[in-house]
Structure 1
């Protein structure tokens, strides 16, 4: 093997990698927040007494979870354009990612809600809590705490999946690597650096979610887990 590594020309393009990493974060954070909220609402609807709403939420989840994210990105980007709605590639990518992660968050939160013992609900009703109080204090927060590690893993996977959006010309980290390697003719070095960058972003995101779990869930703070295992 006579291949000689040369990272100098690739490292010289660090501003492009930095811009790509920043755009990756701009995609990941709002998609995570909005997708989680949407997924929680879907989980509530899917568990609710209204049959047609439950069936509709279930159909949405099954369709999204059984189709590739790349196809969903194409459908949003080209579909909206075909309907006459010209949206930037970034907006289409963000919308597709929200739609995708909402379906997975729905199933994770639904599992957490199903794990709440009926006796806790009965006790809350006996204490005279309102329906909103029961959902927040007895169902949602405990359910989120139970499934927080799974949510953390899903959100990290979402951040890594932003690389797919380079297919519609979103200038995130993978797109930056493609541009650099085409300029420097050093693809191996470029994608090694991108792999390291994604690893760093993953660790940073896990650390942030761990701190969030420590701040929000008092039981996990006492145990010191933070909810990311």
Structure 2
């Protein structure tokens, strides 16, 4: 018995699906922005602070990276209200995703910082730069360039992982798709449309990552040659 595809009933809910996709993008934007800030700060603590001060950050990273995002969502939405901490499904999803992403960003940024030779850091201090100035002018761009592919890949994973927020009724794309499917009874068509939307979102993000990367890394520093006098070494545009 053949199955005939009928998309008309599903496409009638296009405004709802687009609204869900928009919320997915908003969740992604908030998660990436605040998750990057959280992860960078935690990475600096990991690198700069002594072991006993960085222990809370190490514990946070270990706990988050070794538990599923879905379990973390359930704790935030169903567990915390039992102790008086209540939030809407969308807010709980956003905060949980920020905390989840922050743990992964911490390790990625830490690896990027530690990939820079210590001699460069010491040279900056020898030039009377503060530690903040060393990070800003010497460490930041080369470290970011090293970790950029891994970082953007993690961003894409968290955007796609936002689909599990439908388990707590956050009104993102997958949650809306469940409602559409329950109304139309066209499961295959509904999730084929949702698949196309997710592909469009990830392609858009990859183009955005590429454009941002080109903007940040548009100038490359030529590697100093031992045979080239220091006065002739220069920045190549």
Distance in structure 2 (CA, Å) of the matches to 1:17 and 1:210: 27
Runs of 4 or more above 3 Å deviation:
none
Look up the SS of the partner of 1:5 in the other structure. coil
Q: Which 10-residue stretch deviates more, 161-170 or 1-10?
A: 1-10
The corresponding residue for 1:142 is 142
Distance in structure 2 (CA, Å) of the matches to 1:189 and 1:3: 11
The corresponding residue for 1:108 is 108
Give the drift of 1:161: 0.7
Q: Which 10-residue stretch deviates more, 59-68 or 75-84?
A: 75-84
Match status 1:40 vs 2:43: no
Distance in structure 1 (CA, Å) of the matches to 2:70 and 2:105: 18
Distance in structure 2 (CA, Å) of the matches to 1:100 and 1:201: 21
Match status 1:205 vs 2:217: no
Match status 1:82 vs 2:86: no
Give the drift of 1:169: 0.6
In structure 1, stretches of 5+ residues that fail to align are: 223-229
After superposition, give the CA deviation of every residue in 1:49-78 in whole Å (9 maximum; x if it has no partner): 322222221111111000000000111112
In structure 2, stretches of 5+ residues that fail to align are: 223-237
The corresponding residue for 2:18 is 18
Q: Which 10-residue stretch deviates more, 126-135 or 137-146?
A: 137-146
TM-score scaled by length of structure 2: 0.90
Q: Which 10-residue stretch deviates more, 129-138 or 87-96?
A: 129-138
Distance in structure 1 (CA, Å) of the matches to 2:199 and 2:96: 23
Give the drift of 1:133: 0.2
The corresponding residue for 2:57 is 57
Give the drift of 1:101: 0.2
Q: CA RMSD in A?
A: 1.4
The corresponding residue for 1:2 is 2
Q: Based on CA coordinates, which of the two structures has the bigger radius of gyration?
A: 2
Look up the SS of the partner of 1:6 in the other structure. coil
Distance in structure 2 (CA, Å) of the matches to 1:3 and 1:218: 52
After superposition, give the CA deviation of every residue in 1:121-179 in whole Å (9 maximum; x if it has no partner): 12111221111101212223321121001110000111101100001111110011111
Report how many residues are paired.
Answer: 221
